[in-house]
C-alpha cells in the first residue's frame, strides 16, 4: 500500500517519534522550520549524500557518522542550508547534533543533521537552540506529528511529501515510512535531495547501506528539474528493529530492499510532481541499450534539455529535439537505431518519422499533466526510467523574480 | 579592424563572389533561404562539424570532402535541416552539390553543403533546383551580395552575422571574412553552428585545418544558449590565395591564425548577442586552474545552468548558484579555493561572502545587457573565456508556443 500525497494519516514505523516546529529560522512567519526524527532505540543507519565538491556543513558532519549500527535521531532545519559557511558553519552543525543529543540522552555522533534553504548565511543559532528543546517536548508517534516533520523540511515545496509502505516479513508486519523535500536545484548525481526513510525492520548497517544505495540509484538519481546538483542533497535510512523481526536476510531482505526502493521512487516522483513552475510530469523510459550507463546518459540528457522541456510545455510531440538529444550523448548509435513513442503513440521508428494524428496527440499533451516518452534501441537489455518536469515561464519567473 | 553587426558595407576577400536568394524553401514568403559562396579558383578548405551521432545529411557529405586543396563553392539552405531524412536526404544533399558544380564548372566534390532549419523533413528539391541556377546568375563580389549570403543562412536569427578582418602579411593585404547563423540549439561540443570563413590568403589545407580547429576551440566551442549540440553544426574555412601572398608560414601563418581566431570569436559572440529571448550577454572567465579542461568544465557548467541564467535575468548577483555549479563539475576543488567577481566587484573570496553594495550591483545588472562573471582559483595558469545568454520567459515562449 503506497500513498504519496499530503495526507495527515500516514503512520510512522514502531519506535519512532517525530515533530516539526516553527523556531524562527524563517523569521516570525510561524512556518514550520525545524524537524526532529527520534528512534527510541539504536537504529542501523545509512546515508547517501551530494557528490558536489561544494557541500553544506551538515553533509560534512553527517557523512562521517554513517553507516552506523547506532543512530538515534535526525534533526533538519529549513530556511538556511548552512552551506559555504566555513568553520563556523561546521561548528553550528555539530552544535545542533549536541543539542539534540542532550535532549534525547545519547552521544552527539548518534545524531544526524541536515539543513536546506539559502546558501551562504550563518544559521540563527539562538532560534535553533530554543527550537530543539521545544521540538523534543512535542515528539509524538501520531500521524499529525509525522506530517509536521515532513512540513518542517519544506522550502519552496508546495506540499509535503510522505510515503508509507507496509510489508509482512516472516509473518511480522514491517513499516517503511519516508519523508522528503525538494522543488528546484534538482539534478542528483549519485546523490539526492533531503529525505529520511525510517523502518522498524531489523537490519545490519551494511545491508541498510546497500539497500539505500540501490534504491537511490533507481529513484532520486533518476529525477531532474534543471540538472543542478545541490550542496545539501541527503537521503538517510534508519532501521530500528522495533517490529520485532529478526535481522533481515535472504528473501526477507530482498523484499525489504524492494520496499525501500518503492518508497524512494514514490518520494522522488513526489519531488517532480512539485517541480517549480511545472505544467507537466514527464516519465522517460529508455530501453534496449548495452549498459545501464548508456540508458542513463540518454534519459538524463533528455530530462535536462531545455528544448525538450519547452516543447512539452507547448504540447508539441517534437521528436527532432528528442532524437537530437540521443545523438549528443556520446553513446554509440545512429538515428536508424532509434524508435520513439510519446504517450504510447509511435512517432519515429528506426530513423524514419511515422504518420500519426498530431492534433490528437498534441491535444492529449495539452489536456493532461502526465506525458510519457519511451525510446527503444536494438542493442541489449539495459534500461532506465527517469522522471522530469517541463520548463515554463513560471519556472523562469520563480527563479528570476524572487528578489523583487 | 573588426566589425560585427548588420552593416551592408563589409567586403569579401579577393576572388570570392556570393549571393542569397529566396527560392521557396521557406514557402512563398520571399525570405532569403539559399546562399552561395564561390571562389574563382581552387581554395584550400577545412571544416569542423557537429560531434552529434545524429547528424544531418549535409554534414555527412561535407565532412568527407575536407580538408581539401581544392574547394570551389559552399551552398547553404535555411528553413530545412535535411537531418534524419535517411538515404533520400543523403541523395538530396549530394544533388545540391552536383547542381552547384554544373553552374560553377567544377566537380561535385569541390562543393560543400550545409542545411539549417527544421529536422525531419525532406528538402523541397524543386525549389532548390531552380534556386541554385538563379543564385549563380546573381553572384557578385559586392558588400550587398555578401550581406545577402549571410541573410540566406538565417533561421530564427534576428540579424545577420558578418565579420571582416584585414591583415598585412609580408606587405600584402589579406582579408578574412566570415558569416554565421545561430539563435538556439547552441551548445557546441568540439563543433559549432553554421559559419563560413573566407580568406584570400594562401594556405595549405593542413594549415587551414589546424587554424580552423584552434580558432573553433576558442570561439564556437565556448558559447552556449541551452547546451544542446545540434545535428547540423558546421564551420568552414576557404582560403583561395587571391591576395597573391606566398603560401603562409612562420610569423605570417601565426598572424593569420590569430586573425581567424578573432573572426571566429566575433562571430560566436554575435550568435550569443542574438540568443533566443535573451536579456543579457554574459561573459564567463574562469582562471587559475590546472588544465584547460578543468577551466572549460567549470565555465560550461555555469554557462548551461538554468539557475544561474534565471538569476541573471532577475539581475541578482546570486553567488550561491555559481559556487554550487563549481562544486558539481567533478573538478577537484573546495569552496575555499573559489573567488568570484561579478562586473568587477568581488562578492565571494576564498570561501567567504564579501560585504558589498548589492543594490548598486543589482541595478547595474538590471540596466546593462553585458554581465561579466569571473572566477579565480589558486591552482595554476589554465583559463577559459565562455559566452552565454540568460534564460527568460521569452525563451520559453519562443520554444513552447511556436506551434500555436
How far is C-alpha A19 from the geometric centre of its chain's CA atoms? 20
Percent pLDDT > 70 in chain B is 96
- Which of B54, B348, B403 is facing A326, going by the closest CB pair? B54
What integer is the mean pLDDT of B353-362? Answer: 93
Hey, which residues does A39 pair with through a beta bridge? A16
Q: Residues B182-235: pLDDT tens digits?
A: 876 776 654 457 788 888 888 888 888 888 888 888 888 777 777 777 777 788
Q: Answer left, alpha or beta for residue B350, where phi above 0 means left and psi between -120 and 50 means alpha.
A: left
Catalytic choice (B85, B155, B192, B229):
B192
Query: And the C-alpha cell for A336?
Result: 536508424
Q: List CB contacts of B98: < 8 A, sequence separation 6 or more.
A: B108, B111
Letter string b/e over residues A256-287, b meaning 16 or more CB atoms within 10 A of that residue's CB: bbebbbbbbbbbbbbbbbbbbbbbbbbbbbbb
What pLDDT score does A190 carry? 47
* DSSP-assigned letter for residue B403: T
- For the beta carbon of residue A88, count every other beta carbon within 10 angstroms: 13
DSSP symbols for B347-379: EEETTEEPP--HHHHHHHHHH-SEEEEEEE-SS
Q: Answer left, alpha or beta for residue A60, where phi above 0 means left and psi between -120 and 50 means alpha.
A: alpha
Handedness of CA B308, B310, B316, B321 (dihedral sign): negative
Q: Choose among A375, A368, A374, A363: nearest CA to A390.
A: A368
CB contact at 8 A, A35 and A149: yes
Q: Looking at chain B, which residue has its C-alpha nearest residue A232?
A: B324
Cα separation, A113 vs A61, in Å, equals 7
Q: At what angle do helices B125-137 and B86-104 cross, to 10 degrees?
A: 20
Give the SS3 label for residue B34: strand
A residues 214-273 closer than 8 Å to B (CB) = 226-231
E strands present in A204-359:
223-224, 234-239, 281-289, 339-342, 345-349, 352-353
Contact B320 A118 (CB under 8 A): yes
Cα separation, B13 vs A107, in Å, equals 78
Q: What are the chain B neighbours of A294 within 8 Å (beta carbons)?
A: none
Question: Is the predicted ipTM greater than 0.85, yes or no?
Answer: no
- Which of A327, A352, A393 is facing B55, going by the closest CB pair? A327
What pLDDT score does A315 carry? 94
Q: What residues does each domain of chain B span?
A: 3-273, 281-400
Predicted confidence band at B402 (pLDDT cuts at 50, 70, 90)?
A: low
Q: What are the chain A neighbours of B117 within 8 Å (beta carbons)?
A: none
Cα separation, B208 vs B68, in Å, equals 9
Hey, which residues does A163 pair with through a beta bridge? A178
Query: And the C-alpha cell for A245?
Result: 523481526
CB contact at 8 A, A230 and A195: no
B residues 153-192 closer than 8 Å to A (CB) = 184-185, 187, 189
| A16-273 CATH pick, 3.40.718.10, 3.60.70.12, 3.30.1330.30, 3.90.226.10 | 3.60.70.12
CB contact at 8 A, A294 and A384: no
Q: Which CATH superfamily is domain A281-400 in?
A: ArgJ beta chain, C-terminal domain (3.10.20.340)
What integer is the mean pLDDT of B315-331? Answer: 90
Q: Does domain B3-273 have CATH number 3.30.70.1350?
A: no
Q: Looking at chain B, which residue has its C-alpha nearest residue A57?
A: B335
Mean per-residue pLDDT pooled into runs of 10, chain A (404 residues): 51 94 94 96 90 88 93 94 89 98 97 90 95 98 96 90 88 89 68 77 87 84 76 84 86 89 89 89 96 94 92 92 89 93 95 91 95 97 94 90 57
A19 is catalytic: no
Alpha carbon distances (Å) from B146 to A65, B46, B171, B196, B305: 67, 20, 26, 11, 36
Letter string b/e over residues B228-266, b meaning 16 or more CB atoms within 10 A of that residue's CB: bbbbbbbbbbbbbbbbebeebeeebbebbbebbbbbbbb
Q: Residues B196-209: pLDDT tens digits?
A: 888 888 888 888 88
CB contact at 8 A, A37 and A239: no
Q: Residues B129-171: pLDDT tens digits?
A: 999 999 999 999 999 999 999 999 998 888 999 999 898 887 8
Count, residues in chain A: 404
Strands B339-342 and B370-376: antiparallel
- pTM of the model as a whole: 0.81
- Which of A189, A336, A400 is facing B328, going by the closest CB pair? A189
Catalytic choice (A85, A97, A116, A192):
A192
Q: Residues B54-97: pLDDT tens digits?
A: 888 999 999 999 999 999 999 999 999 998 888 999 999 999 99
pLDDT surpasses 50 at B2: no
CB contact at 8 A, B4 and B266: yes
Query: And the C-alpha cell for A92?
Result: 553550528
What pLDDT score does B169 carry? 85
Cα separation, B39 vs B239, in Å, equals 9
Q: CB contacts < 8 Å between A and B, how many?
A: 200
Contact A319 B226 (CB under 8 A): no
How far is C-alpha B308 from the geometric centre of its chain's CA atoms? 23
Hey, which residues does A285 pair with through a beta bridge? A374, A385
* DSSP-assigned letter for residue A385: E
How far is C-alpha A131 from the geometric centre of its chain's CA atoms? 25
Cα separation, A237 vs A373, in Å, equals 31
What pLDDT score does B189 carry? 54
Contact A311 B231 (CB under 8 A): no
CA distance A70 to chain B (A): 30
Alpha carbon distances (Å) from B244 to A182, B15, B177, B247: 65, 11, 17, 9
- Which of A305, A314, A404 is facing B400, going by the closest CB pair? A314
Contact A230 B324 (CB under 8 A): yes
Cα separation, B269 vs B387, in Å, equals 7
DSSP symbols for B213-233: HHHHHHTGGGEESSS---S--
* Chain B contact for A352 (CB, 8 A cutoff): yes
Cα separation, B5 vs B24, in Å, equals 27
Give me the residue label for grid cell 527560392: B23
Query: And the C-alpha cell for B290?
Result: 590546472
Predicted confidence band at B238 (pLDDT cuts at 50, 70, 90)?
A: confident
What pLDDT score does B192 carry? 53
What pLDDT score does B331 carry? 94
How far is C-alpha B161 from the geometric centre of its chain's CA atoms? 9
Contact B328 A52 (CB under 8 A): yes
Amino acid at each position: 500500500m503506497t500513498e504519496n500525497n499530503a495526507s495527515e494519516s500516514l503512520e510512522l514505523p514502531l519506535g519512532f517519534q517525530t515533530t516539526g516546529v516553527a523556531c524562527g529560522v524563517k523569521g516570525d512567519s510561524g512556518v514550520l522550520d525545524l524537524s526532529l526524527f527520534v528512534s527510541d532505540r539504536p537504529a542501523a543507519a545509512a546515508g547517501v549524500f551530494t557528490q558536489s565538491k561544494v557541500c553544506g556543513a551538515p553533509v560534512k558532519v553527517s557523512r562521517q557518522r554513517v553507516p552506523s549500527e547506532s543512530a538515534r535521531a535526525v534533526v533538519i532545519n529549513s530556511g538556511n542550508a548552512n552551506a559555504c559557511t566555513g568553520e563556523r558553519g561546521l561548528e553550528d552543525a555539530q552544535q545542533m547534533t549536541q543539542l539534540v543529543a542532550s535532549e534525547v540522552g545519547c552521544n552527539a555522533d548518534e545524531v544526524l543533521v541536515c539543513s536546506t534553504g539559502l546558501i551562504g548565511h550563518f544559521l540563527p543559532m539562538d532560534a535553533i537552540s530554543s527550537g530543539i528543546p521545544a521540538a523534543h517536548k512535542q515528539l509524538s508517534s501520531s500521524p499529525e506529528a509525522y506530517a509536521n516533520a515532513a512540513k518542517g523540511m519544506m522550502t519552496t515545496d508546495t506540499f509535503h511529501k510522505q510515503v508509507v509502505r507496509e510489508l509482512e516479513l516472516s509473518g511480522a508486519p514491517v513499516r517503511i515510512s519516508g519523508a522528503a523535500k525538494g522543488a528546484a536545484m534538482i539534478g542528483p548525481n549519485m546523490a539526492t535531495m533531503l529525505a529520511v526513510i525510517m523502518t522498524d525492520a531489523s537490519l545490519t548497517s551494511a545491508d541498510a547501506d546497500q539497500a539505500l544505495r540501490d534504491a537511490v540509484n533507481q529513484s532520486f538519481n533518476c529525477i531532474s528539474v534543471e540538472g543542478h546538483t545541490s550542496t545539501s542533497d541527503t537521503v538517510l535510512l534508519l532501521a530500528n528493529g522495533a517490529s520485532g523481526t529478526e535481522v533481515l536476510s535472504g528473501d526477507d531482505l530482498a523484499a525489504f530492499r524492494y520496499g525501500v526502493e518503492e518508497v524512494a521512487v514514490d518520494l522522488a516522483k513526489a519531488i517532480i510532481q512539485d517541480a517549480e513552475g511545472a505544467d507537466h510530469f514527464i516519465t522517460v523510459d529508455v530501453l534496449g541499450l548495452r549498459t545501464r550507463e548508456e540508458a542513463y546518459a540518454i534519459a538524463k540528457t533528455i530530462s535536462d534539455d531545455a528544448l525538450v522541456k519547452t516543447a512539452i510545455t507547448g504540447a508539441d510531440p517534437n521528436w527532432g529535439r528528442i532524437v537530437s538529444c540521443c545523438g549528443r550523448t556520446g553513446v554509440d548509435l545512429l538515428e536508424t537505431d532509434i524508435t520513439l513513442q510519446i504517450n504510447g503513440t509511435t512517432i519515429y521508428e528506426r530513423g524514419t518519422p511515422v504518420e500519426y494524428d498530431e492534433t490528437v496527440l498534441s491535444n492529449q499533451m495539452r489536456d493532461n499533466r502526465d506525458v510519457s516518452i519511451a525510446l527503444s534501441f536494438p542493442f541489449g537489455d539495459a534500461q532506465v526510467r527517469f522522471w522530469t518536469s517541463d520548463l515554463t515561464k513560471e519556472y523562469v519567473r520563480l527563479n528570476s523574480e524572487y528578489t523583487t
